[in-house]
């Protein structure tokens, strides 16, 4: 899969008069998993909406391979960049396979409604997200984790080199979170660039190659989690003190002894 | 940092290895579809169409039901004909009286019923899809009443020289603009939109009553069938205009079917799949308003057809697509049956079709509201 680069230049996003993202310049490393973290209201989801053209910038640009995404035709963008929003709503009664087939929409036309490639890609997408056995089940009968994997399968069927996920694991229990994260890692191993908004810093440390830390619309840290996550960063982001220890099995950072900033630990 | 990669997940990382499992020769249509394919000139990718079997069968059933109802419509009335005499009378053979009844009296009215019913049905289906809400039909969000108020104003000669269809269109557009304007803050998907629409509808309803209260009783009587919805007084030009408008509107709606099926997702999903949501929304709205305005110009506000027709179409069709054709057929069917009932129930007195649909549609609306799984209402 060819790698594509997504970057922002001087990006300013506003809701009404409130500036949410303020003149942000960043580059998302191709072929890696980037996690956007930060406290509630820091503009994570708005940034993701801006990156996927859902939210038009007040100023500045989002560049996909050097081209302003506002200039790209909608279907072409949908063939390069897939988005899974936080509150994805599907029509009632749709089955998993039917949902995944909608992912082929940007590749189809009025007179090209179902090709050999469509068939093959849908089958692969179902398999990649491990939902082949659920293909015939209506979405409303699935568990949260299964449903989320079905949605991700739809974005896989879009065959885009870039995948943007907005809090893909919120509202999922731990087991289902891991299902989704492992799927994300498999997608990245296939050469996709994945960008996800996460509110759990420990998951971001474990599953992302690259971390973007946002606070009040400003980028305050960017880089590999092992290098940028410090107790100081955690305090600035969330107003908490903690001890960072490496996971004995994987080496990724864990937050221990978490407490509100300025208080002594219980230990 | 990701350090742990099991052999199993490594194997799964290469979906490309199963690439040649099936050749291009054995494409299977997705479950529940027929696939029609033919080779394009110049050896490029073959063209292919998917036909949803259930939607196709639903449309076929509705078409047969409509044909049967039409036969009954032509045969029944204050002077009934035997059904077998109807086809002969249609082609101008048999009893002179029967030919006159069928060709001159009942057939034009049947055509008007089919056209208005289909227009209301499609308009309702489009608006419901646009707002992702089964209650958001043009009748409920005030567009019917807007069209009626303007058309009544032209009928009673309120110094406006435009013909009823043009006035009805202007009224439908005005009401739609008001409803959308008032709901602007909340978008089209929520209670605010419905409530704004109900308010706009109430205001236009009151304006209609006010207009009628101020004119001479005979003029008011002439306009009365119009305000409840009736096929008895049909402006001749309006039917022709509706026929043209319906063929254009239906064509546009069919052209928009793929966009419509994406519109049922949340906006972010639809836009992520390459839909230009705002542009498509305007197009769908324009078609819905056009069909409503033209249909109201013929039959008055029989807006409940826009609720019942798509509802029947959806229950027969599959959840995979938006049943545009089935909504047209179901709308026409309900209109024909309702007008037939209005003509024969209290014969020789005629009940306006709008009252029949209100009697049937009211409870229907309540059922939608009170149904336990009313997820689509939010």
3-state SS assignment for residue A109: strand
* pLDDT reported for residue B13: 41
Interface of A with B in 144-163 (CB under 8 A): 155, 158
Q: What is the mean pLDDT of chain B?
A: 84
The CATH 3.40.50.300 domain(s) of chain A lie at: 6-229
- A252 contacts on B by Cβ (under 8 Å): 1, 3
- pLDDT tier for residue B232 given thresholds of 50, 70 and 90: confident
Query: Number of structural domains, chain B?
Result: 1
Lowest mean pLDDT among A9-18, A101-110, B334-343, B358-367: B358-367
Q: What is the DSSP letter of B72?
A: H
Assess if residue B47 is contained within a domain.
no
Quick one: pLDDT at residue B186? 61
Contact A209 B2 (CB under 8 A): yes
pLDDT in tens, B318-377: 888 899 999 999 999 999 999 999 999 887 788 889 999 988 888 877 887 777 654 443
In terms of residue numbers, what domain contains B188? 55-371
Q: CB A114 to CB B27 under 8 A?
A: yes
Nearest to B268 among A85, A106, A127 (CB): A85
CA distance B54 to chain A (A): 14
B3: how many CB neighbours lie within 10 A of its CB? 10
Contact list in B for residue A116 (CB cut-off 8 A) is 22-24, 27
Test B275 with A53 for CB contact under 8 angstroms.
Answer: no
What's the mean pLDDT in A95-116?
Answer: 90
What number is the average pLDDT over the span A129-140?
A: 92
pLDDT recorded at residue B289: 94
φ, ψ at B345 (rounded to 5°): -60, -50
Alpha carbon distance B130, B287 (integer Å)? 11
Instruction: Report d(CA A134, CA A12) in Å as an integer.
Output: 42
Lowest mean pLDDT among A117-126, B14-23, B87-96: B14-23
Indicate the pTM of the whole model: 0.88
Average pLDDT of B254-269?
92
- Whether the CB of A100 is below 8 Å from some CB of chain B: the reply is no
**Residue B305: inside a domain:** yes
Is B50–A114 a contact, with Cβ atoms under 8 angstroms apart?
Answer: yes
CB B15, CB A190: distance < 8 Å? yes
Residue that is written with structure tokens 């020789």 in the block = B348
Residues of A whose CB is below 8 A from B1: 205-206, 209, 224-226, 250-252
Q: H or E segment at A197?
A: strand A193-197
Is residue B96 a part of any domain in this protein?
yes
CATH number for B67? 1.10.3470.10
C-alpha to C-alpha distance for A166 and A181, rounded to whole angstroms = 13
Q: Is B65 exposed, middle or buried (0-12, 13-18, 19+ CB in 10 A)?
A: middle
Query: Is residue B22 in a domain?
Result: no
Interface confidence (ipTM) of the complex = 0.90
DSSP bridge partners of A254: A245
Contact: B4, A249; criterion CB under 8 Å: yes
For residue B9, being part of any structural domain is answered with no
Cross-chain CB nearest to B262 (options A54, A105, A224): A105
* Closest to A139 in 3D by CA, of A78, A98, A109, A108: A98
Cα gap A136→B58, rounded to integer Å: 21
Cross-chain residue pair A89–B271, CB shorter than 8 Å:
no
| Alpha carbons B274 and A90: distance in angstroms, whole number | 16
Q: Band of the pLDDT at A105, cuts 50, 70, 90?
A: very high
Contact: B31, A97; criterion CB under 8 Å: yes
Interface test with A, best of B269, B275, B280, B374 (most A CBs within 10 A): B269
pLDDT at A263: 64
- Residues in chain B with CB shorter than 8 Å from the CB of A33 are 2
Cβ B18–A127 below 8 Å, yes or no? yes
What integer pLDDT is reported at residue B292 of this predicted model?
Answer: 94
**Mean pLDDT, chain A, whole residue set:** 90
In whole angstroms, give the CA distance from residue B175 to residue A136: 43
pLDDT one-digit tens code per residue, A178-191: 989 999 999 999 88
pLDDT in tens, B145-189: 999 998 888 877 765 555 778 888 999 999 999 998 888 766 666
Question: Cis link prior to B207 (omega < 30° from 0)?
Answer: no
For B248-261, how does the pLDDT look when each residue is reduced to its tens digit (9 = 90+)? 999 999 999 999 99
CATH architecture, range A6-229:
3-Layer(aba) Sandwich (3.40)
Write the pLDDT tens digit of every residue in B97-111. Answer: 888 888 888 999 999
Asked if the Cβ–Cβ distance from A83 to B268 is below 8 Å, we say yes
Cα separation, A149 vs B156, in Å, equals: 61
How many degrees, rounded to 5, is the angle at CA A138 between CA A134 and CA A142? 65
Residue B24 lies in a domain: no
DSSP state for residue B375 in the 8-state scheme: G
A185 contacts chain B (CB < 8 A): yes
Interface contact B269-A85, CB threshold 8 A: yes
């Amino acid at each position: 899969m060819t790698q594509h680069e997504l970057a922002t230049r001087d990006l300013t996003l506003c809701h009404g008069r409130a500036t949410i993202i303020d003149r942000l310049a960043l580059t998302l490393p191709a072929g890696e998993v980037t996690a956007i973290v930060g406290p509630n209201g820091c503009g994570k989801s708005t940034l993701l909406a801006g990156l996927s053209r859902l939210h038009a910038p007040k100023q500045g640009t989002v560049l996909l391979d050097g081209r302003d995404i506002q200039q790209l035709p909608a279907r072409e963008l949908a063939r390069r960049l897939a988005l899974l929003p936080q509150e994805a709503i599907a029509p009632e009664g749709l089955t998993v396979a039917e949902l995944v087939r909608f992912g082929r929409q940007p590749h189809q036309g009025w007179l090209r409604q179902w090709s050999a490639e469509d068939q093959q890609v849908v089958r692969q997408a179902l398999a990649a997200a491990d939902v082949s056995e659920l293909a015939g089940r209506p979405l409303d009968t699935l568990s949260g984790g299964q449903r989320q994997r079905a949605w991700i399968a739809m974005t896989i069927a879009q065959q885009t080199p870039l995948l943007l996920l907005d809090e893909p694991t919120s509202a999922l229990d731990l087991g289902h979170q891991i299902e989704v994260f492992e799927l994300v890692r498999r997608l990245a191993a296939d050469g996709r660039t994945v960008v996800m908004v996460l509110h759990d810093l420990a998951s971001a440390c474990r599953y992302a190659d690259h971390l973007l830390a946002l606070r009040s619309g400003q980028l305050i840290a960017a880089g590999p989690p092992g290098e940028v996550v410090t107790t100081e960063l955690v305090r600035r982001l969330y107003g908490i003190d903690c001890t960072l220890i490496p996971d004995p099995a994987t080496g990724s950072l864990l937050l221990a002894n978490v407490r509100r900033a300025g208080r002594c630990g219980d230990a | 940092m990701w350090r742990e990669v099991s052999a199993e997940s490594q194997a799964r990382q290469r979906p490309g290895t199963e690439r040649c499992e099936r050749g291009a020769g054995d494409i299977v249509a997705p479950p529940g579809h027929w696939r029609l394919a033919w080779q394009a000139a110049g050896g490029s990718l073959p063209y292919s169409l998917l036909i949803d079997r259930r939607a196709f069968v639903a449309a076929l059933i509705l078409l047969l039901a409509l044909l049967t109802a039409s036969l009954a419509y032509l045969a029944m009335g204050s002077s009934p004909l035997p059904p077998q005499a109807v086809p002969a009378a249609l082609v101008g053979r048999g009893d002179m009286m029967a030919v006159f009844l069928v060709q001159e009296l009942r057939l034009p009215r049947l055509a008007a019923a089919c056209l208005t019913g289909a227009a209301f049905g499609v308009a309702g289906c489009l608006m419901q899809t646009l707002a992702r809400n089964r209650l958001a039909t043009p009748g409920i969000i005030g567009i019917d009443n807007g069209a009626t108020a303007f058309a009544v104003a032209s009928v009673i000669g309120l110094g406006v020289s435009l013909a009823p269809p043009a006035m009805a269109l202007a009224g439908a557009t005005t009401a739609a603009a008001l409803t959308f304007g008032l709901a602007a803050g909340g978008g089209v998907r929520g209670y605010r939109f419905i409530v704004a629409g109900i308010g706009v509808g109430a205001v236009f309803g009151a304006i209609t009553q006010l207009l009628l209260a101020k004119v001479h009783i005979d003029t008011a009587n002439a306009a009365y069938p119009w305000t409840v919805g009736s096929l008895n007084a049909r402006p001749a030009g309006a039917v022709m205009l509706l026929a043209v408008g319906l063929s254009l509107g239906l064509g546009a709606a069919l052209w928009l079917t793929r966009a419509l099926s994406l519109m049922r997702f949340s906006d972010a999903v639809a836009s992520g799949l390459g839909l230009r949501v705002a542009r498509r929304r305007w197009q769908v709205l324009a078609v819905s308003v056009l069909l409503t305005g033209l249909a109201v110009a013929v039959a008055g506000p029989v807006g409940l057809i826009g609720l019942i027709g798509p509802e029947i179409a959806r229950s027969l069709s599959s959840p995979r697509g938006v049943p545009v054709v089935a909504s047209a057929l179901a709308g026409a069917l309900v209109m024909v049956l309702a007008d037939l009932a209005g003509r024969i129930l209290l014969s020789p007195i005629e009940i306006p079709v709008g009252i029949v649909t209100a009697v049937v549609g009211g409870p229907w609306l309540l059922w939608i509201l009170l149904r336990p799984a009313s997820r689509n209402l939010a």
